[in-house]
Structures are given as structure tokens and as C-alpha cells.
Amino acid sequence: MTTQPRYMANAFNGDESELEPDLQTLSRRRERVLAPSYRLFYRRPVAPVRAEGVWLFDAEGRRYLDAYNNVPAVGHSNPHVHRLVSKQLATINTHTRYLTASVIDYSERLLDLFPAPLTKVVYTCTGSEAVDLALRIARYETGQLGVICTSNAYHGTTAAAAEISPSLGPNNSIGPNVVLVEAPDLCREDPAEAGERFARRVRDAIAELAARGLGLAAMIVDSVMSSDGVQSRPGGLLAPAATVVRDAGGLWIADEVQSGFGRLGHGWWGFTQHYLEPDLVVLGKPMGNGIPIAAVVGTEQALDRFGRDIRYFNTFAGNPVSIAAATAVLDVIERDDLIDNARQTGEHLLAGLRRIAEHHPSMAHVRGSGLFIAAEFVTDPDSLQPDPAQASDIVNRLRERGVLISVSGPAENVLKIRPPLPFDPTHADHLLAAMDVVLA
């Protein structure tokens, strides 16, 4: 029995006796060399050795349907990504202080996917770095320090990003310049009112900052509010809050690390579903299908003064190999109509889960957009008291049946279903069948 992991939903509890002998050895070796910050998933961790499309395979040849991983957005081991990256790696891989056509080609192509005012890009290697940079830019541009985020937000792991990531747990301190607002709760609020109610909480947060003597630099929101339990609809949900923020002189930072690149099945970015145009957009996870690349996209106005006054050079960011991976991702999303697939498969999956929920009152609310879907579990349908134990149990029983998902939400009672984008209706049926058995 090893150290108990803390403060993470769906973490391995350290009981190695449940593991097969080979994995016991591996887990013990791992524990000797990796710092205790590392946590494994599931009561019985998974040890995949090969992956393809939406499937993982372990050393015994068992296969797992991947309904969790959003980084390999165009599928595990995608051959087009492999081809472009391998070719580039054999050609050249320098940095952005030389002139490189492919970096410019990709930038033009990426920016064409954004509404007109968003015209410039800065590359980073991770979503955390992009969030950190977006905060630096917003603070420099507005001359203010105050930042607002949601009460169970996750925006990253740099010091500045962790300060706005309350979901990291009680020992992670929230910055003195940060005010948290409760995210919409679509299981318990009237969705038609949720947006206006949220905007009122944002107005209160601005007043709270002012009471601390702070002006508003920015509000940052994950457009699918993943760690707040996946709160993405109805359309326009975040628009009233964005107006409040803009009126107070703050920038709106759309964190599209989770919702970007077509996952929500309606256009490329989650913010379009909220009928708002951000000042800064943060991109990450799926951007290079696992090769580290992320970015801040912004209006000329937001990026201009910071860019002129402050040097920002990120050694690996936007290097030709990362750009090759990112180019391949756009190619495959377009070629295989993956946004349309996300919408269609997502609707199929939502409908299937709602049918299951009819027979299982503890599955109180099914929601989501495209291939980012949530199912919320409660102890009883009247009190709507969260039931994290049941959610965790389902996740682990699905894992035993070869289907990988995880949990989310402030109470960890929300199933989080977020597969690679080539997930099609037959994969959805496979998941639904497993869910039926597990709930029976």
C-alpha cells in the first residue's frame, strides 16, 4: 500500500495488491523515480502499450475504447500526423527567430478559422503557458491586476495559472487578485435564466475586486466549463457575463484548450456557441495531437502593446515539427469532416444516455455539446444531492469492461465523456451498451 493520493477525482488509491504482478513492479519502480505529484487513473491503473484511432491496447492484447482522451483529437497514432511530423523531423526543426514558411502558412490558416478581429497569434508549448501569457498580456494592456474565473475552474499549472485553478484542491492557493464566481449549474438552475444569473455573479465579483482596491484585467472561462461539471449550453450562456466584463474595461479570455478544434460540433471554437467574441483565445491540448503546441490568439489591440514592449520568446514553441503536427490536425479535421462527426455522434450519444437515464433516476442530468458530454449522478432525484461514489464506481466498472471515461465537477459526480473526434456512432453504441450493463 503506497502513499494515498489526494485531491484528485478518479485517482489510483495506491493499493498495488490489486495489480497484476508485472504492473505491481512497474508501479513500484515508477513511485521510486517520479515525484509524489504524479497520480494514476482508476482503481486498477491502465497500462496501454499501443493505440490506434479510438482504441488503446495493453500488453495482454486487451482493448479499451477511449472515450476520455481529447489530446489525440484526430485519433491515436494518426498516420497523417505521423507522416508530416516524421518528414519534418528529418528536414529541420529550429525556432521562430529564423524565417520559416511553414510556420507562417499554418498561422494564416489557423487565423482564418477565427472571426475577423482575432488576427494575431503567439505560440507556446502548453495550454498552461498560453493561459499564463494571456494573463500577462491582459494585465499589461489594462494596467489592472484583477482576474475573475469560475469557482471550480482549471486553467493550468504555472504559478499564475494555478492561482486561477481552484479545482487543484485546498492546498493550492487562489491569488489575492483573483475572485471566483460560481459557474452555471445546468442540473439545478433553469437553463434559460442561467446566463443572466451568472452575469449578476460576475458583476458582484467586479465589485468585490473594487472593494479590494483592484481593477479588472480579465475574466477567463473555459468555453465548455469542463471542471465545473461541463456547462456548455444553451447557446449564448456566457454572452451576458462577457458584456459585463467588457463594460468594466476587462478583457474576455476564452480558454479553448478543452473546447477548441471542433470538439463541440458547432464550428471550430466553443465561444461561438456563446455568441461572444473574445479578446484573447487560449488553445492547447488537441492542437498537435500530442506533440506539444499551444497558442494565444488575440486581437491586434490586445497583443500590440505587450508585444512591442516585452520580449516573449518560447524556445520550442511554433517550431517546424510542432507546426507540422498542428497542420496535420487541421488537415484531418477538414478531410474527415470531424466537426460534423462530433455533432452527429454527440447527438446520438446524448440521445442514448437520455434513454438510459429514463430508467435510472440517479442519472439526473445528461448534457453537453458534440463530443464533450456529461451525465450527472445524484443520490435522489428530488434533492439532487451529488453522488460522487456512484459516478466513481461507474467509471471504474466501465474501465473493467474496457471503456475509458472519467469524472468531473465540483462534487466529482459528473461522468466526463470526451473521446477522440473520430469516435463514431458505432463506438457510441459500444459505450452505451457497456453503460447499460454497468448500471443494471
Please identify, among the stretches 181-189, 270-278, 291-299, 334-342, the one whose residues bind its own copies according to the rule CB under 8 A.
291-299
54 part of the interface to its own copies, by CB under 8 A? no
Q: Distance (Å, rounded) from C-alpha 97 to C-alpha 112?
A: 23
Query: Is-contact 419 337, C-beta < 8 A?
Result: no
**Between residue 76 and residue 95, which ones bind its own copies under the rule CB under 8 A?**
76-77, 79, 81-82, 85-86, 89-95
- Who contacts 151 (Cβ-Cβ below 8 Å, separation ≥6)? 166, 180, 181, 182, 183, 228, 410
Residue (77 or 344) nearer to its own copies, CB: 77
Q: What is the SS3 assignment for 414?
A: strand
Q: What is the SS3 assignment for 13?
A: coil
Burial of 348 (0-12, 13-18, 19+ CB in 10 A): middle
Order of all β-strands in the sheet with 372-377 = 363-369, 372-377, 414-417, 406-408
Minimum Å gap between C-beta 419 and its own copies is: 13
33 part of the interface to its own copies, by CB under 8 A? yes
Encoded one letter per residue, x for contact with its own copies by CB under 8 A and - for no contact, window 244-283 reads ----------------------------------------
Q: Distance (Å, rounded) from C-alpha 123 to C-alpha 144?
A: 24
Q: What is the SS3 assignment for 258?
A: coil
Residue (46 or 356) nearer to its own copies, CB: 46
Query: Is-contact 347 340, C-beta < 8 A?
Result: no
Residue (133 or 209) nearer to its own copies, CB: 133
Q: How many amino acids of this chain bind its own copies (CB under 8 A)?
A: 102
Residue (289 or 369) nearer to its own copies, CB: 289
**Between residue 157 and residue 176, which ones bind its own copies under the rule CB under 8 A?**
157-160, 162, 168-169, 171-172
Query: Is-contact 374 416, C-beta < 8 A?
Result: yes
Minimum Å gap between C-beta 368 and its own copies is: 21
321 part of the interface to its own copies, by CB under 8 A? yes
Q: Quick one: which of 74, 75, 80, 96 contacts its own copies (CB under 8 A)?
A: 96
Please identify, among the stretches 120-128, 144-152, 209-217, 338-346, the one whose residues bind its own copies according to the rule CB under 8 A.
120-128
Element (H, E) at 179: strand 178-181
Minimum Å gap between C-beta 32 and its own copies is: 8
239 part of the interface to its own copies, by CB under 8 A? no
Q: Distance (Å, rounded) from C-alpha 242 to C-alpha 357?
A: 34
Residue (363 or 391) nearer to its own copies, CB: 391
Residue (29 or 212) nearer to its own copies, CB: 29
Q: Which three cell numbers stand for residue 40?
A: 494514476
Q: Quick one: which of 200, 243, 246, 312 contacts its own copies (CB under 8 A)?
A: 312
Q: Distance (Å, rounded) from C-alpha 206 to C-alpha 191?
A: 23
306 part of the interface to its own copies, by CB under 8 A? yes
Residue (168 or 244) nearer to its own copies, CB: 168
Q: Quick one: which of 2, 26, 53, 203 contacts its own copies (CB under 8 A)?
A: 26
226 part of the interface to its own copies, by CB under 8 A? no
What sign for the dihedral angle of Cα 419, 421, 427, 429? positive
63 part of the interface to its own copies, by CB under 8 A? no
- Who contacts 202 (Cβ-Cβ below 8 Å, separation ≥6)? 148, 181, 219, 241, 244, 245
307 part of the interface to its own copies, by CB under 8 A? yes
Half-sphere exposure of 297 (CA within 13 A, CB side): 27
Asked if the bond preceding 234 is cis, omega within 30° of 0, the reply is yes
Q: Distance (Å, rounded) from C-alpha 405 to C-alpha 413?
A: 13
364 part of the interface to its own copies, by CB under 8 A? no
69 part of the interface to its own copies, by CB under 8 A? yes
397 part of the interface to its own copies, by CB under 8 A? no
Minimum Å gap between C-beta 14 and its own copies is: 11
Residue (126 or 273) nearer to its own copies, CB: 126
